[in-house]
Structure 1
């Protein structure tokens, strides 16, 4: 049975249909989840719909596409085997889905910070960038998340900024010939992080001066760190290449916190943004009901005009 027809028939009958063994395992209760036509490219991640689709990663991708999502992201992609990466890429192509970000492994955590200007840390990052090019080709990816690491209290901020810029230029040299883009993500997880605000990230991108270095604007983190979301997005818009979201507080789906996501998404849409908006958040509720609530939340937040 064609999975999309199954979804439509379930909606019409108002009841779940029994699937043949092994054909639609985990897809029995989708009567409230027809295929939606979203105005923006929202990207779920693995585990977000596991109660509906099961633990198989490829089945999860199929479910995402069947519900109507046209993009996907996977922070941990570089930790997966090349064989699994290729399978993911093949399924994305079959489903007409676009690959979103993955995190560059060893690309700048507290133990490998760019701020200190340590040549060893720089070379670790450069080698990770070379490996990321191979991974990107397997899944037809364009964007890779980079976090420069922690603030170093022993060095002036200007020196740290210069060290970060120099390291990122090394990465840009690798990515630019392939048309790939590293997206810098300011975070709110801890005050020890070097990169925390959109204007700071903008300054660094301008200094790197490469089409391979842009901003990942995570609405969740920026609401916590600076607020005034739409105004601040406008100020740095020319270097925003990727967007992620989660509501505040809780870091769950839109509508569970204080952010007016209809307004944010309308702004992004009206700007003509053709990129991806990663669903880097949890589900407020557990089980299938929680997963359905995530889908419903995006239908609601996407209903701007």
Structure 2
């Protein structure tokens, strides 16, 4: 989102040049099952830039058409598994800590129960893969897509509980939670020990902090108090000529809690 005008394989270096030492990516390929050549080029771009790939999305389907994940689609089970094999191959090479697995939209001609059963099976599958490499699977509530069934933190946590795998965590995107009406301080109080990753954008507008009404410093303090020490990813649509002008350069690297440093979503 932050380097949309930069060719994808140059984005890790662009993040490094902007002062970040870690990045995350949505699924970085046009296909759920890219070629070995494409995968090697992506891994090399991250390694050459000297940044850490902290989080990676599994394939989300046709995101531009509104799709949000494959996990719950019964007719895409094989594609989901093939995609997971590639994603975890990347994760093992680059020591990725978290893989975001979007749940999948409701399909009109398939019962919710059948979709939930498929999602449970698929999430159990990737959770076992995550355990083997010391990573976690993230489950994310989303806004903006009516067919996506996970809107609140509690709904996402209910999926985590249903699967019952120790490697599963809540992805707390503070923008999505705010848009969907979640009480974010209450979410942190209730689920702070189950949050595996944090993303930020201001609400309204999904732009950089300071353009909306979210009190990020207050929420970061609550997260810290609940024991969160993971990354904070910048996932917004910048409105200023300098997309990071609000964030001093010295706060962009190192430990995310030493100086409230953040991570860039490339």
Report if TM-score (shorter chain) is over 0.5: yes
2:40 equivalent to 1:82: yes
In structure 2, C-alpha distance between the alignment counterparts of 1:280 and 1:164, rounded to whole Å: 25
Aligned partners of 1:107 and 1:125 also within 8 Å: no
- Of 231-240 and 275-284, deviating more is 231-240
Q: Report 1 or 2 for greater relative contact order, CA contacts < 8 Å, sequence distance ≥ 6.
A: 2
2:22 equivalent to 1:71: yes
In structure 1, C-alpha distance between the alignment counterparts of 2:68 and 2:220, rounded to whole Å: 36
2:206 equivalent to 1:248: no
> What residue ranges of structure 2 are gaps of 5+ in the alignment?
31-37, 252-256, 261-266
CA apart distance, 1:179: 1.6
SS at match of 1:236: helix
**Looking at CA atoms only, which structure, 1 or 2, has the larger radius of gyration?**
1
SS at match of 1:148: coil
Aligned partners of 2:2 and 2:235 also within 8 Å: no
Structural mapping, 1:171-182, within 5 Å? 171-182=126-137
Counterpart pick for 2:3 among 47, 52, 64? 47
Runs of 4+ in 1 over 4 A off after TM superposition: 106-109, 153-159, 296-299
Superposition TM-score, scaled by structure 1 size: 0.69
Counterpart pick for 1:221 among 157, 163, 176? 176
In structure 1, C-alpha distance between the alignment counterparts of 2:118 and 2:39, rounded to whole Å: 32
SS at match of 1:291: coil
2:12 equivalent to 1:62: no
In structure 2, C-alpha distance between the alignment counterparts of 1:108 and 1:57, rounded to whole Å: 22
CA apart distance, 1:292: 4.6
- Please name the residue that 1:295 is paired with: 247
SS at match of 2:25: coil
| Paired residues, number | 242
CA apart distance, 1:88: 0.8
SS at match of 2:203: coil
Aligned partners of 2:142 and 2:177 also within 8 Å: yes
CA apart distance, 1:280: 0.7
Aligned partners of 2:10 and 2:45 also within 8 Å: no
CA apart distance, 1:154: 5.0
CA apart distance, 1:186: 1.1
Aligned partners of 2:58 and 2:100 also within 8 Å: yes
2:149 equivalent to 1:203: no
Distance change in 2, residues 1:83/1:223 (3 Å): same
CA apart distance, 1:157: 4.4
Q: Per-residue CA shift, 1:145-189, capped at 9, x if unaligned?
A: 111111234566455433322221122232221222221111002
Superposition TM-score, scaled by structure 2 size: 0.78
2:116 equivalent to 1:166: no
Aligned partners of 1:145 and 1:182 also within 8 Å: yes
Over aligned residues, Cα RMSD in angstroms? 3.0
